[in-house]
Chain A
């Protein structure tokens, strides 16, 4: 007798919770379906805005080319935005964006992912230190590509040489390479931040 009673209480609980979960799930999935398109557009616009800040020129539009971007100005190829990863940091990979024009001069550098020591190596981050802005306008010919300790032109951070040196050398290596072939054959249809 009590068994039946307990069983019915359990099944009642199960039914109630399932019903409630179904209603909540329905509400959420409806909202998701309605808002998904706009959220996706917001996200793309946000990412493009972030990358636009690396290039530092609002008149340049970005066009995806694999994991890199082609930079277009007035419809013609202006340069490239390259995703670079270097394993030579103090702790793990350092990932950054490198924007260059066709003369292989730097338009901007932004470190997007690193695990360097907080307080020492994290000056890579523009939110913490303006160090990455030193690269603006630099090219292989107008700078010596190392940190000052190794008689280069770029500052190391006090207490941390490995981290900035990894970035400086990785950039020099990229500049020595030719422009991405994908940047040279533009297709029409530029992507810009004004699509929402």
Chain B
């Protein structure tokens, strides 16, 4: 695989959330406000890059018996680091989403990438794969939580100061709409996530149709 293909795969073609449908528990549970979603997505990205890198470096050293437990151990280590990091930066945010930070260990995206990619590819490629897959997840969770906060609370960037400091208190954008409770509740998360998947498939279909059209017109020539 070329770097361009890896990037395309992580962000779009094989997006961990929209196509592989992995990591849905945190994706749906934490995407209630933009800041919550952003922080969990970022921590997942952090863990994915470091876990992918480390597992790629150790690929020759690990054999079939040690591979899986070693991968889990490495992932758990980086998740614990991410957890400490969050407590260090914002204890209040940790109180709110801390449960889901620990659950990053069980996020199938991470073990999935370790097994399917990092353990049989060069270090640089593994890092790139972690970066793009993590970013793909981050983009989807940010998009979903932005939509849910806008519909459900009628705000955007609420409580950004928990992570970006005092200056961010004024970042809150008050939207004209009233809060729609459904968008904040779990069923709303499922519905909106379904719509996002549908949107992605619709765009893919449009691209395919256009390509088919172009192909047939060149064939006619």
Contacts and interface: CB of A to CB of B under 8 A. Distances in A.
Contacts of A140: none
Contact of B84 (A39, A43, A49): A39
A interface, over-half SS: helix
Interface of B: 61-63, 65-66, 69-70, 73-74, 76-77, 80-81, 84-85, 87-88, 90-92, 95
A163 B123 CA distance: 60
A20 B84 CA distance: 20
B65 A13 contact: yes
Given A24-B77, A28-B77, A38 B70 contact: no
Interface in A74-109: none
Interface string A19-46: 0110010011001100100110011011
B94 to A, nearest CB: 8
Contacts, number: 49
Contact of A20 (B70, B85, B91): B70
A49 B161 CA distance: 15
Contacts of B62: 16
29 contacts: A9-B65, A13-B63, A13-B66, A16-B66, A16-B70, A17-B69, A17-B70, A20-B66, A20-B70, A20-B73, A20-B74, A27-B77, A28-B80, A28-B81, A31-B81, A31-B84, A35-B85, A35-B87, A38-B88, A39-B87, A39-B91, A42-B87, A42-B88, A42-B90, A42-B91, A43-B91, A45-B91, A46-B92, A46-B95
Interface residues on A, range: 10 to 19
Given A24-B74, A28-B80, A17 B88 contact: no
B102 to A, nearest CB: 14
Contacts of A46: 91-92, 95
Contacts of B69: 17
Contacts of B87: 35, 39, 42-43
A43 B88 CA distance: 10
Contacts of A35: 84-85, 87-88
B79 to A, nearest CB: 10
Contacts of A27: 77, 81
Contacts of A13: 63, 65-66
B141 to A, nearest CB: 23
Contacts of A38: 88
B55 to A, nearest CB: 11
A91 B125 CA distance: 56
Contacts of A45: 91
A81 B77 CA distance: 40
B66 A39 contact: no
Interface in A33-65: 35, 38-39, 42-43, 45-46, 49
Contacts of A16: 61-62, 66, 70
Nearest to B69: A17
A2 to B, nearest CB: 16
A46 B62 CA distance: 43
Nearest to A39: B87
Contacts of B66: 13, 16-17, 20
Nearest to A44: B91
A31 B83 CA distance: 11
Contacts of A42: 87-88, 90-91
Contact of B88 (A20, A24, A39, A49): A39
